[in-house]
Amino acid sequence: MKRIGILTGGGDCPGLNPVIRAVVMKGIKLGYEIVGIKDGWKGLVEGSTIPLNEKSVLDILAKGGTILGTSRTNPYKDLKQKDRAIANFKKLKLYALIVIGGEDTLGVANKLNKEGLRVVGVPKTIDNDLNATDFTFGFDTAVNIATDCIDRLRTTAESHHRVMVCEVMGRHAGWIAVYSGLAGAADVVLIPEERIDINEVCKILRRSRKKRKGYSIVVVSEGAQLKKGDMVLQEKELDAFGHVRLGGIGNQLSEMIEARTGFETRVVVLGHMQRGGTPTVMDRVLGTRFGIAAIDLAHKKKFGHMVCLSGNQIKSVPLSRAVAKLKTVDKKLYDIAKLFFG
């Protein structure tokens, strides 16, 4: 019986467990033994695994997070770790490895595939910024959570005649901000793809004050930047993949808006709320479809590929294409959001 491993790396995300469930249940039907690699690439480096069978995944469809655990370990930061990961792949006698992750996790998968490991990728990120797929699972849940929060902020903003700044996730791409901002009827949506003109923002807010009952909603991605200024950071230390920890643009905007307009302004940072909890129906179904497609790719020996959504069809693309660049917000979509500013 051939053995297939599965791991989840990077940030946790609603929909991971539906992927795991689909891989296990379809894999067993195809005659494979499925083994879970614990805590992402860290588990492969350390050889830490758990057995997976139908009983262990039967009731995880509606559960958020990942039953396998995750980490931001990068085996290529230390070549000894990379060598151990490859050695453990062979020691575990894996026929193939299904890797569920975003740009960084799949970037490692692409490198390992080039070194001869049989790897299949599954796209995961709430930011929806992974190239070569129309949508990633986790995004729909995050957007629904953000939109619900914006709806709730509206009532308190109206009651207190305030400007409410809502900071959402989005390091380099503003998909969550645009979708939740549009759905939540925000007065301004600010994203990493375009620098923030604070004077223009204040002009819009003054205009919206006259139209509404004295309140406004601003949605901003954590990675958005002012025209004059650097990216706002929580800390300057880099993680294993060379990323800084973002956070604080919402607070900075709040102070600048209040100082320039005189409008009482408050900020809410949604943070990890967007990644937690029960996945939506969309993410449960998409995750399941991705999991089925991933085990099918391994069964057909189509390694070095990532499953993807194209229209309403599940297809596959080379991993190298998937991690070649980030998928940023389409300008036409952002222009639609701008039509409703103020």
Instruction: Give the total residue count for the chain.
Output: 342
- Beta-bridge partner residues of 313: 310
Task: Give the position of tokens 């006698």.
Answer: 93
Q: How do residues 245-276 score in pLDDT, each as one tens digit?
A: 566 899 999 999 999 999 999 999 998 889 88
* Backbone CA torsion sign across 186, 206, 230, 154: negative
| Residue of 127, 129, 187, 283 with catalytic role | 127
Domains and CATH numbers, the chain: 3-137+279-322 (3.40.50.450), 141-276 (3.40.50.460)
Q: How do residues 88-116 score in pLDDT, each as one tens digit?
A: 999 999 999 999 999 999 999 999 999 99
Radius of gyration over alpha carbons of the chain, in Å?
21
Query: Above pLDDT 90, what percent of the chain?
Result: 87
Order of strands across the sheet with 265-269? 188-190, 216-221, 163-168, 265-269
Average pLDDT over residues 311-333: 95
Catalytic annotation on 127? yes
Q: What is the pLDDT of residue 235?
A: 58
Q: How do residues 47-81 score in pLDDT, each as one tens digit?
A: 999 999 999 999 999 999 999 999 999 999 998 99
Q: What is the pLDDT of residue 1?
A: 81
pLDDT band at 233; cut points 50, 70, 90: low
Q: What is the mean pLDDT of the chain?
A: 93
Q: What is the pLDDT of residue 283?
A: 97
Distance CA 17, CA 37 (A): 14
